[in-house]
Amino acid sequence: TMIFSESQILVTGGPDCVVRIWNPFVPRKANAILLGHRSTICALVVTNAGNRIFSLSKDRCIKVWDVPALSCIQTYNKLPRELSEYTPMTIVYNTLTCTMIIASVMIAVVVCEHVINEEISDGYTHTKGVSCVLYNQLFRVIVSTGLDSCIIVWDPWYGRRLRLISHAHSIIQYGQYVDIEITAACFDDSEQFLVTGARNGSVKMWNYNTGTCIRDMMVDYQWYSGY
């Protein structure tokens, strides 16, 4: 199996279970080898400008490789049994939905989601940077917003998470949530409602105690073009 990416690297894999990364202009020796598969490599995908490699072997094992680090960052072994080593397999990676489509005697779709780095987040708080932290004197809670498009309400006295609002600012594209970074937040004068703003110009008002969006507004950029 061979694939050539836009970043001008050549990636090959075969019966020796080794993924090799080549400089196509220096074909004498591979720049790097990636070890870990235990069966013949039958399909390869290169994404993220050559920084990620997905490899599929005949034992239904998918591995995700970090090219700069030359290391395996994820292994997936839960493909259906119908995709066996006795039938040919091929894969297509959809960059818009981050899904891998595997075709053989049946078609399987694998969602390639990001793995939470436990050194940064334990899965209980934000998975990306925190953009705003507010203290509400009325309800005596802390509200944090993040670049992961999440709003979290905390009890600072007991260190507990009271409520999580995920996909707070998001759009649905090809059936998948695409989260928009929350960049601003504040309370109204009564401190009963939360107002958040996102990078795409959307503004929302929340009853953050119930997680209900009360109002959804969008900045009209054409209005500014009149100046």
Let me know if residue 111 belongs to a domain: no
* Most confident listed range (42-46, 74-78, 140-144): 140-144
Looking at the fold, whether 134 and 60 belong to one and the same domain comes out as no
Return mean pLDDT, the chain. 86
Q: For residue range 124-138, what is the model confidence (pLDDT) as tens digits?
A: 788 888 999 999 999
Let me know if residue 96 belongs to a domain: no
Q: Which domain holds residue 67?
A: 2-82
Q: For residue range 152-175, what is the model confidence (pLDDT) as tens digits?
A: 999 999 888 999 998 999 988 777
Looking at the fold, whether 58 and 136 belong to one and the same domain comes out as no
Contacts from 55-58 at CB under 8 Å and sequence distance 24+?
A: 55/13, 55/19, 56/89, 56/91, 56/102, 57/17, 58/84, 58/85, 58/89
Report the pLDDT value the prediction gives residue 26, as an integer from 0 to 100.
85
Q: For residue range 59-89, what is the model confidence (pLDDT) as tens digits?
A: 889 999 999 888 998 888 888 887 777 778 8
Q: How many domains are there within the chain?
A: 2
Let me know if residue 90 belongs to a domain: no
CATH number of the domain bearing residue 201: 2.40.10.480
The arithmetic mean of pLDDT across residues 1-24, rounded, is 83
Let me know if residue 154 belongs to a domain: yes
Domain finish residue from 24, 51, 82: 82
pTM above 0.85?
no
Residue predicted with more confidence, 93 or 134: 134
